[in-house]
Structure 1
Amino acid sequence: MFILSIMLPIFFVFAVGYIGQSVLKLNTAMISRLTIYILVPFLVFRTFYSQTIDSSLIYFVIFILGLCFCSILIITLFTKILRYSEAERCGLILSSAFMNNGNYGTPLVLFLFGEEGMKVAIVLMVLQQLLMSTVGVYYAAKGSPFNVGSIDAVGQVLRMPMIYGAILGILFNWMHIPLGSLRHGIDFIADAAIPVIMIALGMQLANMVIKKVNWTALSFSIVMRLALSPLLAFLLVWQLPLDDLTKQIMIIIAATPTAANTTMYAIQFRVQENNVSAATFLSTMLSLITVPVVIFLTV
């Protein structure tokens, strides 16, 4: 019952965004830009400004990289066995190797563990965004029929303002720069980030249309994302010198569905966009069943 009370408010907000977009047909790209370029950077700044920066950051990097590249290795073996093309392999990587710890994982951790858990979740969100903006763009470019150069990844990273929010937060923290009454304004904007990015995900889901897909690849990506990923996370964090709460958060975040950003990359680079969109939509719906199981096993 406790887990259900956590999941239902989250999916209620997703549903509000989904229904609102279905009726109003708003410009979701503008909403996404609002969250990415204004709201989330303030949330990231506040988190890094108010928390102690220590060696745990190194272990977060090890975890994010380890989880991603272990997933890519498993996907590569699967595609070689079934003799998939390079485009199919890259599409499967986009739909399977990157979790949605922004729109989904961060609010989930907030509901589960409160502000203490949010400090961990936001650091992981920033690292994951960096990974998607580099490794994700690389595979999107590699699988593109237009043979687009993957050097665009650097530009993607430089255009992500949450990175600058993190850097400024760390600098202000390290230099002990007081914010004074300005802190109230920052809090207002930062507090708006979580509900808006949740509504934005619901709106993005409403825009997705499941067309002709490769059901074998789609089934594998859903199993990889919702079942194998949290198992890999468990194996990765088992020996890391982190507290139990942090380990629980890392495993739960690894169980979140396919990242919505990968759908944008798939569409932009024309890489298996039907399969990636379907994986984002179906994994989000099925996570209502799988994520509570992971929470029950870890908390």
Structure 2
Amino acid sequence: MYNIIIIFVCLLLGLILQKVKRFPTNAYKLFNHIVIYYCLPSLALFYIPKIKLDTHLLYPIGVTWIGFTTSILVFSLLGAKLKWSRKLTGCLIMTAGFSNTSFLGFPIVQALYGEEGLKMAILVDQPGTFVVLSTLGVLVATVYSTGRPNGLEILKKILFFPPFIAFLLACFMNVFHYDFYQYIQFGLQKVGSVMTPLAMLSVGLQLQFDKKSKHFKFLRLGLFYKLIFTPALIYLLYVVILGQQGKMIQVSVMEAAMAPMISSSIIASSYGLKPRLCSMMIGFGIPISFITLVFWWFIMRFV
């Protein structure tokens, strides 16, 4: 549970630093840059070469693909009907469409389901969440931030997105059963390990608890989709319709029920997709998710 403690400590520290006049107000941009361009690629290069692929693993891998594509459909339709701005629609797609499958998901799943559950959680995160974020996530962020998407420009942003480059290299290493020397792996793991404190500091520095904020109604909608609708959808598909049971399905639903993903929020914020709402989705979503996760854990005990 060390990561969970770090999340709350760094979030609180970020809120405190907001009050320090001499602390740079735009420091969160530096933290975002480090997370996106250094931490995410390091995690991909460390974990993906070690994954053993199997057709039965499509269930955990499919969690984020289902959740994010449904998010695109739901919020694009709502945005068109309710005449939302493109940036608001893109913000909700990005923040509600991704689960925090690693830095919340890993310690919680490990505590509930042990080392076997943790291995399944890694499959939800790396071939699932990480790939969707590096491809469809970047595509959505680009389309909704520019307003006039250019196919070639979007392709360039995806192909030259450092986490995506690292993912392709890691997949190549996996296929050919190659991994880095131990001391390089150690370095990659250490670089990736600073993602949680830096990301939560960034969120804390941007988080505003304004009771009169116009974002609260969108916050409620986004969190309902993320914390209730998405795990219910995965439960309906996997358990009710396909009749699947067991620890793999339990982990899949629990990962779908995690709070909004920090990295997708940072990417959305860096593309100018309602940065304050992005921070609110993380800052409010994480503590609220601990309540909703108890509900889903109770439900999954019967699967």
- The reply to whether TM is greater than 0.5 is yes
Q: Which of 251, 257, 263 is matched with 2:253 structurally?
A: 251
Task: Report the residue type matching 1:290 in the other structure.
Answer: T
Deviation track 1:23-54 (CA, whole Å, cap 9, x = no partner) reads 49584555555555555545444444434221
Aligned to 1:272: 274
Shift in Å, 1:227: 0.9
Aligned to 1:183: 182
Aligned to 1:15: 8
Shift in Å, 1:294: 1.8
Aligned residue pairs total 289
Shift in Å, 1:220: 0.8
CA–CA separation in structure 1 for the residues paired with 2:136 and 2:236: 22
Aligned to 2:121: 121
CA–CA separation in structure 2 for the residues paired with 1:47 and 1:241: 30
Alpha carbons of structure 1 residues 29 and 241: separation in structure 2 relative to 1, 3 Å: farther
Does the aligned pair in 1 maintain the 2:31–2:202 contact within 8 Å?
A: no
- Superposition RMSD in Å: 3.5
Shift in Å, 1:192: 6.6
Aligned to 1:294: 296
CA–CA separation in structure 2 for the residues paired with 1:28 and 1:116: 36
Identity between Structure 1 and Structure 2 (%): 20
Aligned to 1:213: 214
- Higher mean C-alpha displacement, 84-93 vs 36-45: 36-45
Correspondences of 1:12-161 after superposition (within 5 Å): 12-21=5-14, 22-23=16-17, 27-34=27-34, 36-38=36-38, 40-126=40-126, 127-144=128-145, 147=148, 149=150, 151-161=152-162
Question: What is the DSSP-based 3-state SS (H/G/I as helix, E as strand, rest coil) of the residue aligned with 2:145?
Answer: coil
Does the aligned pair in 2 maintain the 1:75–1:93 contact within 8 Å?
A: yes
Does the aligned pair in 1 maintain the 2:75–2:89 contact within 8 Å?
A: yes
Deviation track 1:153-174 (CA, whole Å, cap 9, x = no partner) reads 4344434555555555555555
CA–CA separation in structure 2 for the residues paired with 1:28 and 1:218: 21
TM-score (normalizing by structure 1): 0.77
Aligned to 1:3: none
Does the aligned pair in 2 maintain the 1:130–1:157 contact within 8 Å?
A: no
Deviation track 1:166-222 (CA, whole Å, cap 9, x = no partner) reads 55555555545586xx3365246426734x332233212211233632332221111
Question: What is the DSSP-based 3-state SS (H/G/I as helix, E as strand, rest coil) of the residue aligned with 2:71?
Answer: helix
CA–CA separation in structure 2 for the residues paired with 1:129 and 1:178: 19
Alpha carbons of structure 1 residues 296 and 79: separation in structure 2 relative to 1, 3 Å: same
Does the aligned pair in 1 maintain the 2:226–2:260 contact within 8 Å?
A: yes
Alpha carbons of structure 1 residues 114 and 200: separation in structure 2 relative to 1, 3 Å: farther
- Higher mean C-alpha displacement, 236-245 vs 46-55: 236-245
Structure 2 gap segments, 5+ residues each? none
CA–CA separation in structure 2 for the residues paired with 1:251 and 1:97: 14
CA–CA separation in structure 1 for the residues paired with 2:73 and 2:51: 34
